[in-house]
Amino acid sequence: DIVMTQTPLSLSVTPGQPASISCKSSQSLLHSDGKTYLYWYLQKPGQSPQLLIYEVSSRFSGVPDRFSGSGSGTDFTLKISRVEAEDVGVYYCMQGIHPPLTFGGGTKVEIK
């Protein structure tokens, strides 16, 4: 199984400041079709998870452009350029290249 490792476990950020979350996979997520199947989700308190980024760097519909994804192979990063109060919650990365699909352990983001 592909293991997804997220760091840090938690992050406390001043509003308006940037934040960055790392996600590393135990195997390359580059598929033979040329796509890299790495996703980012945010689960706000008391809510279902929501898709932020798909295939490493494509923002899902309605996701603010302060969210960006980057990386390749086994190393990936989610960046928030200027954190806002509504960005609090737990962020998860997930690999979709091989079943079983696996999530990172999550990074809890809170506001200072």
Show the site string, 55-74: x = touches other proteins by CB under 8 A, - = not.
x----x--------------
3-class DSSP assignment, residue 71: strand
Cα 62 to Cα 32, 52, 77, 110, distances in angstroms: 29, 9, 20, 22
Residues 79-108 that bind other proteins (CB under 8 A): 90, 92, 94, 96, 99-106
Residue of 71, 50, 72 lying closest to 61 (CA atoms): 50
Count residues near other proteins (CB under 8 A). 24
Which parts of 18-57 interact with other proteins (CB under 8 A)?
A: 37, 39, 41, 43, 48-51, 54-55
